Amino acid sequence: MNMFSEFDYILTDLDGTLIKMDEIRFADEYFKLLSEYVKNFIDPRNIFPVVMSCIEEITRNPDGFTDNYERFLKALIGKLNLENRKVELKATFDKFYKEEFPKLSHLTKPNQELVKILRDLRKENKNLVLATNPVFPKIAIFERLKWSGMKPDEFALITYMENSKYCKPDVKYFMEICDKLSTSPEKCVMIGNDSQYDSSCEKIGVKYVDVRELI
């Protein structure tokens, strides 16, 4: 596509972009499943505010050294006074994402038009980047990518909690991507659906394209 001819890297968001969903319903069902799974650690009535406060903390207070998953677990452990149960807590989350999280796939459907656009761009030797907000661990990001019909090996980089130190809309999230790819922001374009979280890339020179302009 001509509008992408000047770019080497095509970044795409996931939720609401590569996969379609009712994000409110998805979040409701997600927290229902999660609350039952981690009830030995967290009162099910508190799961939503506790987890969201931890996400807000890792978004607002990056240290530039520690990955998002470690900082999330640290925040969660601190709020729940679970200092001696980190290994057990992480194992429970990992098991949840492996066994329960896939049950949410029926709440989503792939954005087939965008999938075709991305695959056509890849045929033109453009590099694809799954630039989804890294507030989920790798196992969950890869599961959600599966729901789009695309595969990990189609992407030059996929961001997730364990390999990221920043979150959207922090511009350092996009700077970190450019650093990993050894490229400049001007060589990248971001396809997304959120004018706050995705378009913040423009502050460092990454062009933003709303997915609705393409479909």
CATH number, domain at 17?
A: 3.40.50.1000
Residues 13 and 33 in one domain: no
Query: Are residues 125 and 94 part of one domain?
Result: no
* pLDDT band, very low/low/confident/very high, at 32 (cuts 50, 70, 90): very high
Q: Are residues 58 and 152 in the same domain?
A: no
Looking at the fold, whether 9 and 39 belong to one and the same domain comes out as no
Residue ending a domain, among 44, 70, 104, is: 104
pLDDT category of residue 17 using cuts at 50, 70 and 90: very high
pLDDT in tens, 45-73: 999 999 999 999 999 999 999 999 999 99
Of 104, 129, 159, the position where a domain reaches its end is: 104
Q: What is the span of the domain harbouring residue 61?
A: 24-104
Do 117 and 39 belong together in one domain?
no
Indicate whether 127 and 208 sit together in one domain: yes
Question: Are residues 116 and 74 part of one domain?
Answer: no
For the stretch 103-116, pLDDT in tens is: 999 999 999 999 99
Mean pLDDT of 166-193: 99
SS (H, E, C) the chain: CHHHCCCCEEEECCECCCEEECHHHHHHHHHHHHHHHCCCCCCHHHHHHHHHHHHHHHHHCCCCCCCHHHHHHHHHHHHHCCCCCHHHHHHHHHHHHHHCHHHHHHHEEECHHHHHHHHHHHHCCCEEEECCCCCCCHHHHHHHHHHHCCCHHHCCEECCHHHCCCCCCCHHHHHHHHHHHCCCHHHEEEEECCCCCCHHHHHHCCEEEEHHHCC
Do 38 and 93 belong to one domain? yes
In this predicted structure, what is the pLDDT of residue 111? Answer: 98
* pLDDT band (50, 70, 90) for residue 215: confident
Q: Of 88, 104, 120, which residue is a domain's last?
A: 104
Confidence at 182, pLDDT banded by 50, 70, 90: very high
> Quick one: 198 and 137 in the same domain?
yes
To the nearest whole number, what is the mean pLDDT of the chain?
Answer: 97
In this prediction, residue 197 has a pLDDT band, given cuts at 50, 70 and 90, of very high
Same structural domain, 139 and 188 = yes
Given this model, what pLDDT does residue 83 score? 87
| pLDDT score of 84 | 86
Q: What is the pLDDT of residue 1?
A: 62
Q: Are residues 138 and 208 in the same domain?
A: yes
Same domain, 117 and 190: yes
Domain count, the chain: 2
